[in-house]
Structure 1
Amino acid sequence: MVPMSRQMLQQAGVRPASPALVRAFAVIARRRLRGGFRALRMLHAERLAQAGTGPLIVYLNHPSWWDPLLCLTLARTLLPDCMHHAPMSAASLLRYPMFGKLGMFPVDQGSARGAAQFLRSSQSVLAAGGVLWITAQGRFSDVRLRPTTLKAGLGTLLHRFHDTTSITVLPLAVEYTFWNGVKPEALVAAGTPIPVHRMETTHTARTWTQLLEEHLQTTQDELAVAAMDRDPAIFQTLLDSEGASLWQRLRARMRGELEMPGADHTTEPH
């Protein structure tokens, strides 16, 4: 991986992340996910891990408030040696400046200035060999909505990509769903990587957007089918709250409490 250039990033308005703060916040993110979900499970995790050998864009659907915590956990688990960045509303970043130290960079939403800001900052992250995470729908969206639609920003970025190296674009489908237990499952699927080469003149910004939408929708459909099977063996489990659940069950038994039917999250309720 190309070393991150601090000067290059700062000139584009991107603040280099603080490794110590990222590590600390990653611990918090994992705790929150363990508390909120039965497990974090992933289809084709190797696709994300293998794509992190050069400049990478990970774009995903945006179903929930949980998405940033999930992305941070994926980044730290599967791509621990990469530098990660993501756009964030300039107003929100001004209100919560700590997120700038976690790799977020400001974008004024809904303006020409903001669009130019997004392109400049994103290009600097990619040119420096980093990983760019984008919730490309631009708003919260139900996972069942079809067709999958994206904002134009990412397609425009790829259309204007003129760096000397190639980059990889990876669709990521996210879904939060209940299976057989009290807690929901956090499910993720990595789609087929899309290689992007310098000066890909045959693709307009709109063509890129349509291609990205198709790839993400295909990945979402694959995840939906796997989710309906309710079989953990289909997935790679990246984070599991079973340890905490086991302790809670043992404590309940010591107190003489009864376990709820269906507390075994991997089997059908009795």
Structure 2
Amino acid sequence: MGAWFARYLRRHLDGLSLPLWSASPVAGHPGPLVIYSNHPAWWDAATIILLANRLYPGRDHRAPFDAAMLAKYRIFERLGAFGVDLDSPRGAAQFLAAARAILARPGATIWITAQGRFQDVRVRPLGLRPGVARLAELAPDTLFVPLALEYAFWDERGAEAFAAFGPALSGADLAALPRPERLARLEGALTETLDRLAADVMSREPQRFRPVLAGRKGVGGIYDLWRAAAARLRGRRFDPAHRSAGE
């Protein structure tokens, strides 16, 4: 499915990139990982699946998913998602019980869109749901990694997907804090990562990023076929991109 989502993203977006400063994924950590992010768009699930596939290929990946949405998109259940009722105390208990079992496994990784609902990338404060902070109590050997997600239109017809990992936080250090302070620490780390990513995205400077996956360039269809034929007649190499490298 990682290969399928890669083809899907190439077809519909202009690519997925990480800024050069993005912290190296802690794939070698022997304990569990909790990678928690903002939730700006429908594309988040596909982006996360690609990051998991490319950067953490040897780990066991799971993710909480709105139960109502999981009923519509059953494929994600087969990919490791588990349903959570976001609007009831029962759902919170389900989430913690499932997370406890997952974090007890070697090499476990939980990906959480911690806002719980779609939110614009510019919303401050982020309003993370408190459940993500409870996980430090369940498995203090967990590392918590903030993941900033953003999508923007640059020079091509498709949007660019951008992701950035912030520095990891120790679960044991977080567990030593009162719950409100713990949640604030997690939210602060993600906010800093989002703000730094936003500055790079607004710069529109590709050299600040390294590609994870390149998308399809150009307009497509008959128009690009005509452009390609015209380039061949002139003895030139056809580049479908709106702006060629170096321009």
TM-score by length of 1: 0.78
Aligned equivalents of 2:80 and 2:211: distance in 1?
Answer: 26
1:207 — aligned with what? Answer: 181
Q: Which of these residues, 235, 239, 243, is aligned with residue 264 of structure 1?
A: 243
| 2:194 counterpart of 1:220 | yes
Instruction: Kindly report the root-mean-square deviation, in angstroms, between the aligned alpha carbons of the 2 structures.
Output: 2.8
Query: Matched residues, percent identical?
Result: 35
Aligned equivalents of 2:74 and 2:59: distance in 1?
Answer: 22
Aligned equivalents of 2:239 and 2:209: distance in 1?
Answer: 26
Using the TM superposition, give the Cα deviation of residue 261 of structure 1 relative to its aligned residue in structure 2, in angstroms.
11
User: Any stretches of 5+ residues in structure 2 without a counterpart?
Assistant: 232-237
For the Cα contact (< 8 Å) 2:5–2:46, is it kept in 1?
yes
1:42 — aligned with what? Answer: 18
SS in 2 for 1:74: helix
| 2:196 counterpart of 1:196 | no
1:176 — aligned with what? Answer: 151
Aligned equivalents of 1:208 and 1:81: distance in 2?
Answer: 29
Aligned equivalents of 1:145 and 1:70: distance in 2?
Answer: 20
Q: Which of these residues, 30, 34, 44, is aligned with residue 57 of structure 1?
A: 34
Higher deviation after alignment, 59-68 or 115-124: 115-124
| 2:129 counterpart of 1:151 | yes
For the Cα contact (< 8 Å) 2:218–2:240, is it kept in 1?
no
- Over 3 Å counting, the alpha-carbon distance change for 1:52 and 1:37 in structure 2 is farther
For the Cα contact (< 8 Å) 1:231–1:266, is it kept in 2?
no
For the Cα contact (< 8 Å) 1:42–1:237, is it kept in 2?
yes
Aligned equivalents of 2:148 and 2:180: distance in 1?
Answer: 21
For the Cα contact (< 8 Å) 2:175–2:182, is it kept in 1?
no
Counterpart of 1:38 in structure 2: which amino acid? D
| 2:74 counterpart of 1:82 | no
**How many residues are treated as equivalent by the alignment?**
238
Aligned equivalents of 2:17 and 2:135: distance in 1?
Answer: 30
Higher deviation after alignment, 144-153 or 131-140: 144-153
TM-score by length of 2: 0.85
Using the TM superposition, give the Cα deviation of residue 200 of structure 1 relative to its aligned residue in structure 2, in angstroms.
3.0
Counterpart of 1:156 in structure 2: which amino acid? R
| 2:115 counterpart of 1:137 | yes
Q: Which of these residues, 163, 167, 177, is aligned with residue 142 of structure 2?
A: 167
Aligned equivalents of 1:251 and 1:196: distance in 2?
Answer: 54
Higher deviation after alignment, 217-226 or 26-35: 26-35
1:230 — aligned with what? Answer: 204
Aligned equivalents of 2:109 and 2:126: distance in 1?
Answer: 23
Q: Which of these residues, 65, 69, 84, is aligned with residue 107 of structure 1?
A: 84
Q: Which whole-Å deviations, capped at 9, do the CAs of 1:53-86 have from their partners, x for residues lacking one?
A: 4310000010000000000000000001111000
Aligned equivalents of 2:22 and 2:30: distance in 1?
Answer: 15
Using the TM superposition, give the Cα deviation of residue 255 of structure 1 relative to its aligned residue in structure 2, in angstroms.
4.0
Q: Which whole-Å deviations, capped at 9, do the CAs of 1:100-122 have from their partners, x for residues lacking one?
A: 22101121221111111101111
Higher deviation after alignment, 122-131 or 94-103: 94-103
For the Cα contact (< 8 Å) 1:181–1:265, is it kept in 2?
no
Aligned equivalents of 1:240 and 1:192: distance in 2?
Answer: 26
- Over 3 Å counting, the alpha-carbon distance change for 1:265 and 1:69 in structure 2 is farther
Higher deviation after alignment, 55-64 or 174-183: 174-183
Aligned equivalents of 1:77 and 1:96: distance in 2?
Answer: 23
| 2:61 counterpart of 1:71 | no
Aligned equivalents of 1:29 and 1:237: distance in 2?
Answer: 16
Q: Runs of 4 or more off by more than 6 Å in structure 1?
A: 246-250, 259-262
Aligned equivalents of 1:30 and 1:224: distance in 2?
Answer: 24
- Over 3 Å counting, the alpha-carbon distance change for 1:261 and 1:104 in structure 2 is closer
Higher deviation after alignment, 207-216 or 26-35: 26-35
User: Any stretches of 5+ residues in structure 1 without a counterpart?
Assistant: 1-24
